[in-house]
Amino acid sequence: MKRKLSRLVSFAVPMFCTAVLFAAEGEGVVAEGVKNLASIPYFVWATAAIAVGFAFTTAVCGLGQGIAIKGGLEGIARQPEASDKIQITMLLGLAFIESLALFALFINIILLFANPFIKYLQ
């Protein structure tokens, strides 16, 4: 029950925040680059897609890091004399996995704030 509730909350909160932020009526609330109100749904869907995509990316990276740590600890438990090599290799792998999450974060920030597709919506 707690898992279902936490999944619902982690999915519903970004969606609710997106809906509240972009539920604008009138021309005074529209972003600078947007000339008409018809393109507002694009920003709502883009923000929702970014939230879901980044949540998925970080979840997969977290699972990958957990599996890597599990494998490293099992290797160290089996061969304690090789713990230095296993630990260095594990940390290097964790850095590569974390870089994937950071790349996803940077791409999402670019799509959210410096949207390259804005010129097609004017």
Give dist(CA 27, CA 34) in Å, integer: 10
What pLDDT digit, counting tens, does each position of 2-53 carry? 666 556 555 555 555 555 455 544 444 455 555 555 556 777 777 888 888 8
Can you tell me the mean pLDDT for 114-122?
A: 68
- For residue 30, the 8-state DSSP code is S
Count of positions (residues) in the chain: 122
Looking at residue 43, what is its pLDDT? 74
Domains belonging to the chain, first-starting first, are 54-115 (1.20.20.10)
Give 97 or 114, the one with higher predicted confidence. Answer: 97
Q: Is 118's pLDDT higher than 90?
A: no
Q: Is 73's pLDDT higher than 70?
A: yes
Question: What is the model's pTM?
Answer: 0.59
In this structure, the dihedral spanned by the alpha carbons of residues 9, 13, 14 and 16, taken in order and rounded to 10 degrees, is: 140
